[in-house]
Amino acid sequence: MCESTAYLIREDGLEKIMDNVVYMKPEDGKVYLSDLLGDQKIVDGEVKEIRLIDHKIIIQEK
């Protein structure tokens, strides 16, 4: 499958914030995420890195 895991950059490392992400949209200083089941999360921040091989989305919180 092609789902990814979203992580938030924290002072002490990466914090997992959502599994099975199938949709991600950065817009106006926010990152919109949705998972396989339709659960949604909005994060104030910007996408810093996407690791396609590792299925990771790295977000820097504002």
Of the chain, the percentage scoring pLDDT greater than 70 comes to 98
Q: Is residue 40 a contact partner of residue 20, using CB atoms and an 8 Å limit?
A: no
Decide if 57 contacts 32 (C-beta within 8 A): no
Domains of the chain: total:
1
Reply yes or no on whether the pLDDT at 1 is more than 80: no
Dump pLDDT digits (tens) for 25-53: 999 999 999 999 999 999 999 999 999 99
Q: Which residues contact 10 (CB under 8 A, 6 or more apart)?
A: 61
Q: Are the C-beta atoms of 19 and 3 separated by less than 8 Å?
A: yes
Q: Which residue has the tokens 């926010």?
A: 30
Q: What share of the chain is helix, strand, coil (3-state, %, to 5)?
A: 0, 75, 25
- pTM, entire model: 0.92
Indicate if the pLDDT at residue 55 is higher than 80. yes
Mean residue pLDDT across the chain: 96
Range of the domain at 36: 4-61
